[in-house]
Amino acid sequence: MAASEKIPAHLRTRGSMEASDRREAYPPMPEALEVAVYDNHAHLEIADGENPLDFREHLDRAGSVGVHGVIQVGTNVATSLWSADVAAVEPRVLAAVAIHPNEAPELHQKGTLDDALQVIDDLAKRPRVVAIGETGLDFFRTEGPLQPPQRRSFIEHIRLAKAHNLALQIHDRDAHHDVVDVLLKEGAPERTVFHCYSGDRELAEILNANGWYASFAGTVTFGNAKGVQESLAVMNKSRILIETDTPFLTPTPHRGKPNSPYMIPHTLRFMAKYLDTDVNLLAAQITDNTFDVYGRWDDNPPTIRTNPVTGEPWDELEPSRFHAS
């Protein structure tokens, strides 16, 4: 981000991604946690709901309920740049950068996948970029003929994570066996995270055996997520993380509403109840795990404090184009 530029409040809308009208109100604030946790995976650049929250509003609400920071995740060149730029100026944000598995085949067809991967390589050198992701395999949306470039992109992201000593955040949809196969053949990074864990007990045991992490989103609270819930019980507690995948996958009891990092307490309390453990103990364990994977949010503090051209605070935002009129 150039010093004279403002940060866009949003880059896209959830409604445009789903061809739907997203005029929902945000859920009410939950009871605050006593022990702080961190949201391992969010997309704050996506506007959702009738009056979308910008990233500062998301973070302010999250902080007030005990969610002290977020990993902001890129899925293409534009969102990865945005993620890295926000992390460079916002103390409550660290960034992950990548080309999403469903973006890779399209870029391959255009002949621009390697150029995009080079941008990710460059962004990975920034001090507040702490992960490569989300990357992986998605056989739900990507048909057989387009799976080879998706696999190649995944392998290149693994290489980048190891080259830069960063964590790897994996998107795995209907591709458990193939994801594990690639990780074992290529050699997984030391800190490998299955974002929005969607597997069963068998996959959880594979994660435990390899020291990989499972990040649980609001889906763990859903009534039809028995396999995910059983996996939570199986997972080594030192390998559990928590996330929202904002603006998607809002936990029960607000499923279907816009999601935000401030919804984490609902997911955490469900997890603690399911595990028959104390919420504070689980929060402390997950926070320790989060620091083990990404480091602390103040390890490399933001250095951009004011705009030297205008003299205004760094956090000038362009007004969101997506607020209801």
Residue 140 lies in a domain: yes
**Is residue 317 domain-resident?**
no
pTM value? 0.92
Residue 260 contacts residue 72 (beta carbons within 8 Å)? no
Tell me whether residue 5 is in a domain: no
Instruction: Give a yes or no: residue 226 inside a domain.
Output: yes
To the question of whether residue 195 is assigned a binding role by annotation, the answer is yes
The pLDDT assigned to 312 comes to: 60
CATH number of the domain within which 124 lies = 3.20.20.140
Rounded to whole angstroms, the Cα distance separating 261 from 187 reads: 32
Indicate the pairing of strand 192-194 with strand 213-216: parallel
Please give the average pLDDT of every successive group of 10 residues along the chain, which has 325 residues. Answer: 70 80 89 98 95 94 98 97 94 97 95 97 97 94 85 98 98 95 98 97 98 98 97 98 98 96 98 98 98 97 62 60 54
In a domain, 265, yes or no: yes
Question: Annotation-wise, does 156 bind a ligand?
Answer: no
Give the residue numbers spanning the domain of 93: 30-301
Residue by residue, DSSP assigns 25-38 as PPPPPPPPPSS-EE
**Considering its fold, how many domains does the chain have in total?**
1
* Residues 191, 196, 199, 203, Cα dihedral to 10°: 10
168: its two tokens: 């790897």
- Return d(Cα 9, Cα 80) in angstroms, integer: 15
Cα–Cα distance between 292 and 288 in angstroms, integer? 6
How much of the chain is in helix, strand and coil states, percent to nearest 5?
A: 40, 15, 40
**Are the C-beta atoms of residues 187 and 162 closer than 8 Å to each other?**
yes
Angle at 73 between CA 9 and CA 118, to 5 degrees: 105
What pLDDT does 304 receive?
65
In a domain, 314, yes or no: no
Q: Kindly report the CA angle at 51 between 48 and 57, in degrees rounded to 5?
A: 85
Planar angle of CA 267, 137, 96, nearest 5 degrees: 60
Distance separating alpha carbons of residues 234 and 275, to the nearest angstrom: 10
How far apart CA 117 and CA 52 sit, in angstroms, is 30
Under 8 Å between Cβ of 259 and 61: no
Q: Tell whether 79 is covered by a domain.
A: yes
Q: How do 240-242 and 67-73 pair as beta strands?
A: unpaired
Residue with tokens 């000038």: 316
Q: Is 171 annotated as a binding residue?
A: yes
Cis peptide bond upstream of 247, omega within 30: yes
Helix extents (H) in the chain:
14-18, 55-64, 77-89, 104-110, 113-123, 147-163, 176-186, 201-210, 226-234, 264-275, 279-294
Within a domain: residue 69? yes
Q: Is 266 annotated as a binding residue?
A: no
